[in-house]
Amino acid sequence: MPEFTYLYRKNRRTFRALPALYAAYRVQTVCNHGGEKYPLRVFRRELNRVLRRTDECVWSNNPRAFIVLHEGKTVLGFADIRTVSTDMIPTDEPYGTVEDFCIAENERGKGYGRMLYERVEKVMCENGTKTVLLTPDPKTGTAFWQKMGYTPTEDFIPDTHSRIWRKEL
């Protein structure tokens, strides 16, 4: 039975396969958003920075979470979320963001994406988030996010020209 674990620097070694999955996902998604192809090691280091920020958010009560979906020590997927954000679009109202969301390629089509997203939404709701924004991978993510109830907006991320999608919870 799949389980969820909130990942921090202290427990990240529990899932030895996570850095490779994270790096491969980030290389692909950056390329799909029009960025250049970076070496995997760049994103392995990035994961450490993400987890350091997650630790700091826990200490400062700033709700950011890195959620791992797994069976035992086998990583099925992960999500990096912020339940309060104001840096994607200018607005007076705070919103949540899904920074990264990945299901391992060999685990897709088994319902794990929906399962992980339901946990993401639960965390958002528990923290009072009313609106969630994200920029889906234009090649592999739009159909999934549409099924989850997200709709494209007229807003774009300036540096990547990635369309922002939105859902009201």
Res 133: pLDDT: 95
CB neighbour list of residue 13: distance below 8 Å, 6 or more residues apart: none
Q: What pLDDT digit, counting tens, does each position of 129-167 carry?
A: 999 999 999 988 999 999 999 999 999 988 788 999 999
CB neighbour list of residue 47: distance below 8 Å, 6 or more residues apart: 12, 18, 19, 22, 23
Res 84: pLDDT: 83
More confident residue, 45 or 57: 45
More confident residue, 49 or 151: 151
Res 8: pLDDT: 77
Buried b vs exposed e over 106-124: b needs ≥16 C-beta within 10 Å? ebeeeebbeebbebbbebb
Answer whether residue 59 shows pLDDT above 50.
Answer: no
Q: In the chain, what percentage of residues exceed pLDDT 90? A: 54
* Mode of pairing for the β-strands spanning 64-71 and 3-6: antiparallel
- As a whole number, the mean pLDDT across the chain is 88
More confident residue, 61 or 26: 26
Answer whether residue 82 shows pLDDT above 60.
Answer: yes
Token representation of residue 122? 């639960």
> How far is Cα 14 from Cα 145, in angstroms, rounded to an integer?
29
> How far is Cα 75 from Cα 4, in angstroms, rounded to an integer?
10
Q: For the domain bounded by 3-168, which CATH number is listed? A: 3.40.630.30
Residues in the chain, overall count: 169
Buried b vs exposed e over 2-29: b needs ≥16 C-beta within 10 Å? bebbebeeeebeebeebbebbbebbbbb
Cβ atoms of residues 111 and 77 within 8 Å: no
More confident residue, 33 or 79: 79
> How far is Cα 100 from Cα 26, in angstroms, rounded to an integer?
8
Burial class (CB in 10 A: 0-12, 13-18, 19+), 43: buried
More confident residue, 21 or 57: 21
Res 169: pLDDT: 94
Q: What is the mean pLDDT of residues 37-47?
A: 86
Res 55: pLDDT: 53
Give domain limits for the chain.
3-168
More confident residue, 57 or 131: 131
